[in-house]
């Protein structure tokens, strides 16, 4: 099975479980009803995809550019409210190779990697699973998204890219809240639009410098004193977290982090050496 075919099959299985209405016009093509989860099992049997293999289905590409047609395909199928992004993780400062519906987040080719992507790369998430899905994202003008990322690897198993799908949910969430207010008045039992708290949150905006500063400042917010008043132990603790977030995968991060921590560049290099040992 070709790489594109495998991605397509995996995509169909995921969509039939989460957004069956998207594939409703193609019922005849897949030869089954797409109104229930039983359709997924029938699809697997028809295409000889064992149950256990859907979760671990993977493939390799020699360059991320091979996935550009898949970006176009997903964008056409999912519609204008879905942003589809192709990242080259070997160049985190300008990782976006191709993007469709980029106006949703305000991004364009040549823009850098997000904070969540850096974290996923640094923590080695791609070593244990082929993708992550259904985490929250946000962009300018308080736009909110439901996001998913597929890890792209080469023939040697090395992570080289990310295929990201970001579904704009702001209008839908607002509509749910408005309907809940009508149904329940001031006694809303729960916030139906946000009751599932994601374990990952992604910022789909800003330059690489903005991303570095945002991550560093979010770590420093956990301390009750300004950076220049941190003890050395506290500074090393904060730096360790910043390092774990993948900030130093981006070129030029050292002087920016040093500025945020109110230390000199040589001091930061010395601290980095210590926490890496």
φ, ψ of residue 220 in degrees (nearest 5): -70, -20
- Shared domain for 153 and 65, answered yes or no, is yes
SS3 content of the chain, % helix, strand, coil (to 5): 55, 15, 30
- Shared domain for 90 and 159, answered yes or no, is yes
**Residue 188 pLDDT > 70, yes or no?**
no
CATH number of the domain at 70, please: 3.30.450.20
- Shared domain for 6 and 45, answered yes or no, is yes
Best mean pLDDT range from 15-19, 20-24, 225-229: 225-229
- Shared domain for 157 and 224, answered yes or no, is no
CB atoms within 10 A of CB 155: 8
- Out of 155, 187, 205, a domain closes at 205
- Shared domain for 189 and 267, answered yes or no, is no
Query: Which alpha helices (DSSP H) does the chain contain, by range?
Result: 3-18, 27-30, 38-46, 51-56, 68-78, 115-123, 170-184, 208-220, 232-244, 253-261, 265-276
What pLDDT score was predicted for residue 2?
A: 45
- Shared domain for 189 and 121, answered yes or no, is yes
C-alpha distances out from residue 12 to 8, 131, 223, Å: 6, 15, 46
Exposed (0-12), middle (13-18) or buried (19+): which is 218, by Cβ within 10 Å? middle
262 in Cβ contact with 227 (< 8 Å): yes
Lowest average pLDDT, out of 65-74, 104-113, 120-129, 254-263, goes to 120-129
- Shared domain for 88 and 22, answered yes or no, is no
**Residue 59 pLDDT > 80, yes or no?**
no
- Out of 11, 31, 58, a domain closes at 58
- Shared domain for 108 and 201, answered yes or no, is yes
Indicate the helix (H) or strand (E) that contains 199: none
Exposed (0-12), middle (13-18) or buried (19+): which is 34, by Cβ within 10 Å? buried
What pLDDT score was predicted for residue 176?
A: 77
- pLDDT-derived band of residue 151, with 50, 70 and 90 as boundaries? very high
Give percent above pLDDT 90 in the chain.
43
**Residue 124 pLDDT > 90, yes or no?**
no
- Shared domain for 75 and 174, answered yes or no, is yes
Best mean pLDDT range from 26-30, 132-136, 201-205: 132-136
- Out of 205, 230, 246, a domain closes at 205
Q: Which residues pair with 84 in a beta bridge?
A: 100, 165
Per the structure, the count of domains in the chain is 3
**Residue 126 pLDDT > 90, yes or no?**
no
Best mean pLDDT range from 9-18, 145-154, 189-198: 145-154
Better-scored residue on pLDDT, 118 or 192: 118
- Shared domain for 94 and 64, answered yes or no, is yes
Mean pLDDT of the chain: 78
C-alpha distances out from residue 35 to 5, 18, 22, 240, 272, Å: 23, 11, 11, 48, 54
- Shared domain for 64 and 199, answered yes or no, is yes
Range of the domain at 189: 60-205
Better-scored residue on pLDDT, 14 or 114: 114
φ, ψ of residue 124 in degrees (nearest 5): 70, 30
- Shared domain for 20 and 147, answered yes or no, is no
> How far is it, in rounded angstroms, from Cα 112 to Cα 97?
10
């Amino acid at each position: 099975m070709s790489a594109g075919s495998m991605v397509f099959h995996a995509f169909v299985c995921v969509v039939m479980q989460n957004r069956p209405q998207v594939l409703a016009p193609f019922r005849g093509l897949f030869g089954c009803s797409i109104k229930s989860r039983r359709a997924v099992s029938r699809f697997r049997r028809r295409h000889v995809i064992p149950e256990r293999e859907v979760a671990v289905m993977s493939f390799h590409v020699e360059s991320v550019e091979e996935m550009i047609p898949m970006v176009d395909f997903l964008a056409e199928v999912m519609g204008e409210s879905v942003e589809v992004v192709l990242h080259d993780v070997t160049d985190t400062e300008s990782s976006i190779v191709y993007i469709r519906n980029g106006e949703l987040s305000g991004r364009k080719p040549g823009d850098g990697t997000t904070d969540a992507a850096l974290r996923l790369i640094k923590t080695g998430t791609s070593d244990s699973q082929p993708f992550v899905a259904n985490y929250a994202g946000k962009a300018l003008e308080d736009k909110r998204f439901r996001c998913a990322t597929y890890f792209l690897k080469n023939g040697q198993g090395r992570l080289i890219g990310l295929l990201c799908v970001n579904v704009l949910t702001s209008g839908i969430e607002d509509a749910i809240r408005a309907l809940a207010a009508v149904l329940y008045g001031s006694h809303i039992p729960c916030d139906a639009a946000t009751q599932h708290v994601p374990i990952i949150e992604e910022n789909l905006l800003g330059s690489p410098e903005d991303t570095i500063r945002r991550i560093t400042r979010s770590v420093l917010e956990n301390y009750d004193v300004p950076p220049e008043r941190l003890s050395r132990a506290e500074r090393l603790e904060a730096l360790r977290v910043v390092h774990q977030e993948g900030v130093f995968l981006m070129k030029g991060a050292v002087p920016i982090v040093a500025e945020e921590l109110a230390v000199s560049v040589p001091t930061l290099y010395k601290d980095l050496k210590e926490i890496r040992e």
